[in-house]
Amino acid sequence: MRRPSDKQNVRTTARLACLLFSAIFAACAGNVTTTVTGDGGSPDAGAPDSGFDAGSAGPTDDAEILSASLPSTLNCGETRNVTVTVKNKGTAVWADPTYRLGAVGESDPLSASTRVTLATGASVLASGTHDFNFALVAPGNGGSFTTDWQMVHEGVAWFGGIASQVVTVTCPAPDGETVLASATVYNSPADVATWPITSPLTRLVLGSGGVEADFSKKEDPNRWPDVTPPGWTGPLQYTLWLAMKINGAWYTSGIIQFWYGLAESGGDVTQNDQIAINWVYDGRWGPMAGHQPIPGEYVGFMVTSGNERGVTDTSQATVIERSNMVIIAFPAASDTVFTF
């Protein structure tokens, strides 16, 4: 019998090793299941669970606004404590400073702060709720303002529902005579508040052609007498005054001059920045210069006898008399009528 060569021995050994490896691989393969799913699909219900989800994206962010005590109306300068209750609809745990209630757009007209935080050490688990308590402060002028709030994952994204409310801010009209007594006068007699009221205003029209004021001494037989200013060829009967509140202080001046029989003057004050451009257009009117009232802003009107535009004494008034100062909310459109 021939003795096998070394080369044959190596081949035999290799075959045995391959057979043994194949057997082990087959045994292992019988205990492994591979699942393939389509986009957004789920594994077969009968497939064994490997305990690992390769498609998991980690904790999710979602929120639902359960309630919000945001007011629909406020008075000027009023502070109102409010609560927004939010439910955690995601799987992430909320904790400060990562999760907060934020002012949408990173600003809010009724809040100086853009974030409302969770209490130190507090957390909101999935399906949990939290009351965010904070204060809203109305501005000093009237108008409509939108306050809106949403959850924010700082540095990641805003998410969930939005608590939103349009808030109408109204300011009780101040007393006209109190305003006049406190106002700084520019380009007109500084002592006008002490002049006697002999002809109260009964009607004021902010029309498309100008401002019209009605008062008892506007017409004969007891009307205020005319005065002819130096250099003029014709007389004037009275002056229309405007008062405006700027940066918390009131200012006033006699601006529009009327001769007897002139029904209206000054143009449409509600359009094209008429007051800023054509009434108080330079430094003679101090802080009023270039200021255009916005709709809802309180302004004052009155009339005085004679000419008080550019005159700081009573030299161009035959009688030292005036109407009362009336305060109105500046209208958004012309042809608005106020009666007193």
Last-in-domain residue among 170, 188, 211: 170
| Higher pLDDT among residues 40 and 114, named by residue | 114
pLDDT of residue 5: 47
pLDDT of residue 143: 87
Q: Does residue 335 share a domain with residue 192? A: yes
Residue 128 lies in a domain: yes
Q: Is the pLDDT of residue 284 over 90?
A: yes
Residue 27 lies in a domain: no
Residue 202 lies in a domain: yes
Q: Is 59 exposed, middle or buried (0-12, 13-18, 19+ CB in 10 A)?
A: exposed
pLDDT of residue 171: 82
CATH for 162: 2.60.40.10
pLDDT tens column, 52-82: 344 457 899 999 999 999 999 999 899 999 9
Q: Does residue 115 share a domain with residue 142? A: yes
Q: Does residue 189 share a domain with residue 67? A: no
pLDDT of residue 240: 98
Q: Does residue 320 share a domain with residue 202? A: yes
CB 175 within 8 A of CB 315: no
CB 168 within 8 A of CB 144: yes
Distance, CA of 38 to CA of 7 (rounded, Å): 52
Contacts of 185 (CB under 8 A, 6+ apart): 192, 251, 252, 253
| Higher pLDDT among residues 203 and 39, named by residue | 203
Query: Mean pLDDT across the stretch 21-38?
Result: 37
Average pLDDT along the chain: 87
Last-in-domain residue among 140, 170, 200: 170
Q: Does residue 204 share a domain with residue 138? A: no
Nearest to 324 by CA among 307, 296, 299, 300: 300
pLDDT tens column, 92-102: 999 999 999 99
Tell me how many domains the chain contains: 2
Last-in-domain residue among 144, 170, 196: 170
Query: Mean pLDDT across the stretch 30-57?
Result: 38
Record the pTM.
Answer: 0.60
pLDDT of residue 6: 46
Structural domain span for residue 231? 176-339
